[in-house]
């Protein structure tokens, strides 16, 4: 996929998130392209949705197969994981908000691969003392996903500045929980 197509898909993902029931004309305008360009690019709304989900699956695959996630120092790998999500925030948010348990596959890829890769990464980080051991790796994966995708939505709604996202998530994961008696 070309850089221009990647940018267009990001803009279209943001437009669909902002105007989920918008017409193709409204989506095109929100993405900064003409309706004719949008029609040539994807043809139909359903095809656009499928293109975004397939593109999102390819992004997810690149994230989970990045070598840093499986080996090497955990802190730089976490940074890479975070920056990879942030670099594709519009498409990742579109995929997250349009996936449902009734359709577990995004393109030809299962979300299971994503969660398994993150579980393994967080477990490795726990073993190396980087992440809290009071939480399971699965809980850390769910917290990461919830934090990232929740903050994408907050950014989209104007509640959080885009430049603050990385530091918010870093801070969230740098903190370890206090004992249960503190609650």
Q: What's the pLDDT at 180?
A: 45
Give 121 or 149, the one with higher predicted confidence: 121
Domains (range + CATH), the chain: 52-176 (1.10.357)
Q: Is the pTM of this model over 0.85?
A: no
The yes-or-no verdict on residue 176 having pLDDT over 80 is no
Q: What's the pLDDT at 79?
A: 92
76-88 mean pLDDT:
92
Least confident of 1-5, 22-26, 47-51: 1-5
Q: What's the pLDDT at 171?
A: 85
Burial of 57-79, coded b for 16+ CB within 10 Å and e otherwise, reads: bbbbbebbeeebbeeeebeebbe
CA distances from residue 135 to 55, 73, 95, 169, 177 in whole angstroms, order as listed: 32, 21, 26, 17, 9
Angle between helices 74-87 and 165-174 (to 10 degrees): 150
Q: What's the pLDDT at 103?
A: 53
Q: What's the pLDDT at 101?
A: 54
Under the banding of pLDDT at 50, 70 and 90, the label for residue 179 is very low
82-105 mean pLDDT:
80
Backbone angles phi, psi at 20, to 5 degrees: -60, -25
Q: What's the pLDDT at 54?
A: 87
Q: What's the pLDDT at 157?
A: 86
Contact in structure between 85 and 64 (CB atoms under 8 Å): no
- Length of the chain in residues, anyone? 183
Contact in structure between 108 and 57 (CB atoms under 8 Å): yes
Q: What's the pLDDT at 106?
A: 52
Least confident of 44-48, 108-112, 123-127: 108-112
The yes-or-no verdict on residue 137 having pLDDT over 90 is yes
Contact in structure between 151 and 168 (CB atoms under 8 Å): yes
The yes-or-no verdict on residue 146 having pLDDT over 50 is yes
């Amino acid at each position: 996929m070309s850089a221009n197509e990647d940018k267009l898909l990001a803009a279209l993902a943001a437009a669909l998130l902002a105007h989920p029931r918008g017409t193709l004309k409204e989506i095109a305008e929100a993405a900064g392209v003409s309706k004719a360009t949008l029609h040539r690019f994807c043809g139909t709304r359903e095809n656009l949705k499928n293109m975004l989900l397939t593109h999102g699956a390819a992004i997810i695959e690149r994230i989970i197969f990045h070598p840093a996630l499986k080996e090497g120092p955990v802190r730089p790998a976490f940074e890479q994981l975070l920056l990879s999500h942030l670099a594709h925030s519009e498409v990742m948010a579109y995929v997250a908000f349009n996936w449902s348990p009734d359709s577990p596959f995004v393109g030809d890829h299962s979300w299971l691969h994503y969660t398994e890769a993150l579980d393994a990464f967080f477990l490795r980080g726990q073993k190396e003392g980087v992440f809290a051991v009071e939480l399971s790796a699965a809980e850390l994966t769910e917290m990461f996903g919830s934090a990232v995708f929740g903050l994408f939505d907050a950014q989209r709604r104007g509640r959080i500045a885009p430049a603050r996202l990385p530091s918010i998530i870093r801070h969230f994961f740098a903190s370890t929980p206090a004992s249960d008696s503190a609650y």
